[in-house]
Amino acid sequence: MPVKDIIIYPNKVLQKRAEEIKDIDSEIINIAQDMIATMYVAPGVGLAAPQVGQSIRMILADETAKRDSGKLITLINPVILEKEGEDIAEEMCLSVPKFAADISRATHIFVKGIDLNGKEVAIEAEGLLARVLQHEIDHLDGVVILDYASSLKRSIYLKKRKKGKI
């Protein structure tokens, strides 16, 4: 399980909709294992396949950041079916280093996807897990936290990146 480099914005893979996964083969399993190693080393509480250069619809979430090994979620082709409530909180992202944005997210969601065994999974999530799942699913749609920031804040960040200050 090699640790992969985290792709940094504005890399194009982070700006496009990822492809549906049609078959869960050994390549998909290997990508998932590499993503798990990468997320925990980073360290992070979530990771989407585009963040490791794979434009496929797969995400990981572990709101405990590996403190509870039974909490790791791997979802293929996840879809949010229901959203309730609203909360604004600061988010950061491994693909947008040294940047934070206040983002409004649903507080309670219902998500369906497929696990690595090809079994359909339904998850009802709230709080941090709901936020993490929404953040990672955004990545699958080509959305990063900079897209939630004001144009001025985004412009300042991108100028700093270009000058190598971030």
The catalytic residues are 136
Do 45 and 36 meet the contact criterion of CB atoms below 8 Å apart?
no
- Dihedrals phi, psi of 120, to nearest 5 degrees: -70, 135
What lies within 8 Å, CB to CB, of 33 at 6+ separation is 1
CA distance 21 to 115: 11
